[in-house]
Structure 1
């Protein structure tokens, strides 16, 4: 699952305390093996950890360092997956410099990756989670290039990428960088079965927009089989857990 949690706003429908029970119900209904989250701050990350079953763990770092700022945290079921190594990088010309920005973006942007071993099959893979900039095209394009370069360092290991990319799938330069130069597959397009129709993944607490833009994606190495994909429109009493719909996929490693 890729799920933009929406930062802990303090106004109207945006207030995390009101959205938390809905997000909790959604996550416990689905119980994904991996959840790539965006925009969670330390408070809400800790809440999600408390709301999931005890076997769930997470890896992440605030984009401004330590617990400061938004996280691109990766939650995972530790009964199924063992985290072998991980790292964080900042989407800039100095990716190992904490909180760095060099492409004109006013928000710090980052990514977190984890190398996992599947405890059942023994297979290894890389899960990378990110959140591209929301307004600066140079930051979006260069961020995509940086991540593709980073992923090339993992050799033949299967790759799973989750994220809020802030640009539409199939119709943007960053998307072409990931699926063109990067050779990644869009699970929504390659899925053998879809459990939902195409809707805009950002909804702003309003009704879903049919055939709208998908700015939240799950991408994989071409060798990874996508059995099922979905855009989850879960709500309780007409209220949503976030201003984004989570996107999901059932994957089979090669």
Structure 2
């Protein structure tokens, strides 16, 4: 089974961004998604108005997830999926806190509520099933990033213990590759997950992705904070940090990440 997945921090709709505010970027985002044609997209920072804008322009995609304040309130970690190719078997959302089932709960030293959205999908053509998790760790709280990544890891282990299906994790981790949350997810920290995850950037010739959060300035010098992780059933055939300029500007202040996978 071959598929393409994307992680895409959309940048919330902030009028202070001026020419880079959401109304001026909607079509850039749509064109980028259509160009790379992913089967699944893990998005971050989408507000309900932004997501409904995408629903209208990308009717081939369904959407999972709720706002981090509950219901339609606050930013989403929405998952978009191709409806004609994938059937939703189950989905859920939890908050990165000591009370993960409580909407709007804030964990540890986090500045804001943070969530992880997950779905279980069946590929209509092959009958293969897979899990897809999508998250966004806190931008300020170091302990929140560490503990949030561990909570995501435990939930991944629980899902895989129930049924050992291929699993993909996308997100904005607000961490560089050498930081503890990313090392934990790669199985390099002292505490280990039962599930083995690989960083898709390992498919790059030198393993170095470069900058992914660029504040609408572009450039590649630096380190990533956006990632795609996969279980061992997923072979990463290629991965790309999409630095395309679209109609004279960038679709977001983060570059989307696209990985082409083969599921064994």
Q: CA RMSD in A?
A: 1.6
Q: Which residue of 2 aligns with 1:190?
A: 203
Q: 1:30 aligns with which of 36, 42, 45?
A: 36
TM-score by length of 2: 0.90
Q: Which residue of 2 aligns with 1:175?
A: 182
For 2:24 and 2:157, the matched residues in 1 are separated by 41
Q: 2:225 aligns with which of 200, 208, 215?
A: 215
For structure 2, the 5+ residue unaligned runs are: 1-5
Q: Which residue of 2 aligns with 1:80?
A: 85
Mapping of residues 104-119 of structure 1, within 5 Å: 104-119=109-124
Q: Which residue of 1 aligns with 2:57?
A: 51
- Count residues in correspondence: 249
Q: Does 1:137 align with 2:147?
A: no
Please report how far the alpha carbon of residue 37 of structure 1 lies from its aligned counterpart in structure 2 after TM superposition: 0.2
Please report how far the alpha carbon of residue 245 of structure 1 lies from its aligned counterpart in structure 2 after TM superposition: 0.2
Mapping of residues 136-155 of structure 1, within 5 Å: 136-155=141-160
Please report how far the alpha carbon of residue 104 of structure 1 lies from its aligned counterpart in structure 2 after TM superposition: 1.8
Q: 1:200 aligns with which of 201, 211, 217?
A: 211
Please report how far the alpha carbon of residue 199 of structure 1 lies from its aligned counterpart in structure 2 after TM superposition: 2.6
**CA distance 1:241–1:153, change in 2 (3 Å):** same
For 2:19 and 2:243, the matched residues in 1 are separated by 16
Q: Which residue of 2 aligns with 1:229?
A: 239
Contact 2:28 2:247 in 1 (8 A): no
* 1:176-220 C-alpha deviation (Å, 9 max, x unpaired): 1111123210111136x79xx83300011113133x211100000
